Amino acid sequence: MAVKANQKRLYEQIQLTTAQAIPVSVDITTEHRSDRVTTRTVSVFDDLSDISSEWVGLARLVKVERFGTRAGKPYHQIAYYISTQSLNAAQFAQGIRGHWEIENRLHWVKDVVFEEDSSLVRLGNAPANLSIIRNLAIAIFRYNGYSSITTAVRMIGHNLEQIFLLIGKRASEA
């Protein structure tokens, strides 16, 4: 579970612990993608002595430090996580990256492409129903080979006949 600055007490406890303790495991990876270079250092700690006892079952603290360049500009970020599982740094790194893949492939698309966060629909079941429709649209586009939902929406978003063909083509093959 990610720990953010709005969880002030726990966040400060984790910052202090990870600054002083020696990690039990570390995983470092570097990724080069188009205009971005990112180095991620995942450090895992099992020293929980300074963490409040209200966090029952806590087994590990995880610190993820990301630094690199985006479009030629340097950046540095630190994120903290807590876990009840006793995994090593490589295992946590894989899980965290898997989560971000979901975030980037679904939630980002819903927020940016479909502008879900700025929707004025807020009453009753309507928000949940619209979210289901957005998920269905994303699934149909991906199922039909569109890796970019933005491109798919631009190409066929206003072409009802093409949309029905996408739905019908795969349904008849099933």
pLDDT-derived band at 171 (thresholds 50, 70, 90) equals low
pLDDT of residue 86: 93
Residue pLDDT, tens place only, 43-97? 999 999 999 989 999 999 999 999 998 878 899 999 999 999 999 999 999 888 7
- What pLDDT, in 10s, does the model give residues 1-26? 889 888 999 999 999 999 999 999 99
Q: Which two tokens stand for residue 149?
A: 């939902």
Distance CA 48, CA 60 (A): 8
Would you say residue 174 has pLDDT above 60? Answer: no
What pLDDT digit, counting tens, does each position of 115-145 carry? 887 888 888 998 889 888 888 888 888 888 8
Count of C-beta atoms within a 10 Å radius of residue 91: 16
